[in-house]
Structure 1
């Protein structure tokens, strides 16, 4: 039994152990065409690797999922119902803490629904893994790619500008059917969150705040969303939703944060009114917007004036709150506000 075959077994052995715990060796024989001896040897190695727990007697062994668990399923998108897939194919096979289970379920249903409603593809593959420390979810479709979809809908020029809009939240390519909460809140629930689409990638790490950084893209068609949540996290779904409501209730999604690092590439400067208008796009959907200057040492007068005087006066219903400013930027912002 080679390592490659064992790796393949881990894709479905968790569900098999739950459903065939009393005759697992026979089930592995039937499913793989392996001999009885090979099936038993594979099960022993899976027990040793903590994918399975064995009990019972030598003649009548009983198997159950171990500390390591994984389910991988591929679905045709046509008429797929994300809640049915979760309840039938995934939820019964994992043992997450209750608050983590709720976050994983929320992300699972939102991300699979995005593939159904937005990708334009034909299939989606979902992998959910439990380790002693993390829940790991990967949702991959064969559609047009999330960045291309956003660029086409909002007439944007590249993936970085699409990511800027995604990072604000309340972005959807089907406003009549969606509110643009799913992908955004899924990213906020995770300790690690990666978005890959058609060779482009961005990643977010919870310990780095809300910062999004460019990643190494995968050379495949479609979108792949990966997230990992620590099993001992104190984060909860209600807490995360509440962070983006001014009143803390989590009901309204009425505040956002704009990461200015996503506006320009390395070595470029925020110097133009066009850049400021890009930052301000869709901000009237919110009541409060933090403008995060982290990593931005300087900006031009035209940028500051367009955002903090022209836009601010035209949209006094939106509270603009600049944060993480260098002394020079803070002085410039204060100067244009007082013009």
Structure 2
């Protein structure tokens, strides 16, 4: 009985196989899949033509190496998993990334995997890392409770948009004794494309879109899935990103944040209430500077302005609130509130 070979399945493991069995790759494929040698060689030829493999020599003495397209997909039980070992053992050796990109990917990989281990409450996680000639793409998916449900249970924030508002500030964690709330935030800042999916809800961030997080089209699955992609020719570095959120530029402290009010109000809606303002100021005492981004917000009410820029300011003089992307009317209301 002939074995049917699936190309999409092959590309999940052929990169590592080519590195580990470069001189006997056809034999390895036969042993792993149970196919004929002829079928194995035909599949390897197809993978070479598609860019997944590079072949030196003829078929009789072929030596294979990973090509310009590379991918590793692995699933792990979460219990007892240590996030550094999959990176060191299963992923890093199989990719050829520019040094500064590799450093960012390592940071995101270990932080996102650690989040799944420590916060998801699930049993398993699947990690996929793919390199193309232009980009590197990371996907981490667990079968846990979902990040927004986790936040709802810890902070009593049932609305996913409000949970996303808190996540977007940074320094939010559901395990404050063990974590600082930096991992997800900085991973999103490192990426060109960052998608966060959990239990039918999705938010996406694009590095070229200054408006920050926006609702996205959710994946139909239980748990949390996070997609991270960055261009191989990016000039962004881990140190630059860390430094951008540190007032002294060293990247040691995380004392600056930006709050996108569109997550609170929705596109084109005004902000009127003190309750809304208090959602904005939640946890801001942990920062020294908070930039309040009014992009997409056409108007605010006196109560909102007073609560945010006078009441909070009087009680938290160590926190500098800086409005950005505000229209003239909003700026006038802010000035009026500050002047009491």
**TM-score clears 0.5:** yes
Between the aligned partners of 2:336 and 2:156, the Cα distance in structure 1 is: 33
Instruction: Please state whether the residue corresponding to 1:11 is helix, strand or coil.
Output: coil
Which residue in the other structure is 1:56 paired with?
57
Q: CA deviation at 1:160?
A: 0.6
Q: CA deviation at 1:2?
A: 11
Residue 100 (str. 1) matches residue 96 (str. 2): no
- Whether contact under 8 Å (2:269, 2:297) holds in the other structure is no
Instruction: Please state whether the residue corresponding to 1:263 is helix, strand or coil.
Output: helix
Residue 228 (str. 1) matches residue 233 (str. 2): no
Q: CA deviation at 1:268?
A: 3.4
Q: CA deviation at 1:210?
A: 5.4
Q: CA deviation at 1:266?
A: 3.8
Which residue in the other structure is 1:216 paired with?
217
- Whether contact under 8 Å (2:302, 2:333) holds in the other structure is yes
Instruction: Please state whether the residue corresponding to 1:257 is helix, strand or coil.
Output: strand
Q: CA deviation at 1:209?
A: 2.4
Between the aligned partners of 1:138 and 1:97, the Cα distance in structure 2 is: 19
Q: TM-score, normalised by structure 2?
A: 0.98
Structure 1 pair 128/278, CA: closer, same or farther in 2 (3 Å)? Answer: same
Q: CA deviation at 1:152?
A: 1.1
Between the aligned partners of 1:131 and 1:197, the Cα distance in structure 2 is: 26
Between the aligned partners of 2:131 and 2:175, the Cα distance in structure 1 is: 33
How many correspondences in the alignment?
A: 339
Structure 2 matches for 1:127-146, cutoff 5 A? 127-146=128-147
Q: CA deviation at 1:33?
A: 1.1
Which residue in the other structure is 1:251 paired with?
252
Structure 1 pair 55/290, CA: closer, same or farther in 2 (3 Å)? Answer: same
Instruction: Please state whether the residue corresponding to 2:218 is helix, strand or coil.
Output: coil
Q: CA deviation at 1:269?
A: 2.2
Give the CA RMSD over aligned residues.
1.3
Which residue in the other structure is 1:314 paired with?
315
**Per-residue CA shift, 1:80-116, capped at 9, x if unaligned?**
1111110000000000000000000000000000000
Residue 120 (str. 1) matches residue 121 (str. 2): yes
Which residue in the other structure is 1:37 paired with?
38
Q: CA deviation at 1:58?
A: 3.5
Structure 1 pair 3/273, CA: closer, same or farther in 2 (3 Å)? Answer: farther
**Per-residue CA shift, 1:226-281, capped at 9, x if unaligned?**
01010000000000000000000000001100000000234532110000000000
Structure 2 matches for 1:149-298, cutoff 5 A? 149-209=150-210, 211-266=212-267, 268-298=269-299
Q: TM-score, normalised by structure 1?
A: 0.98
- Whether contact under 8 Å (2:265, 2:297) holds in the other structure is no
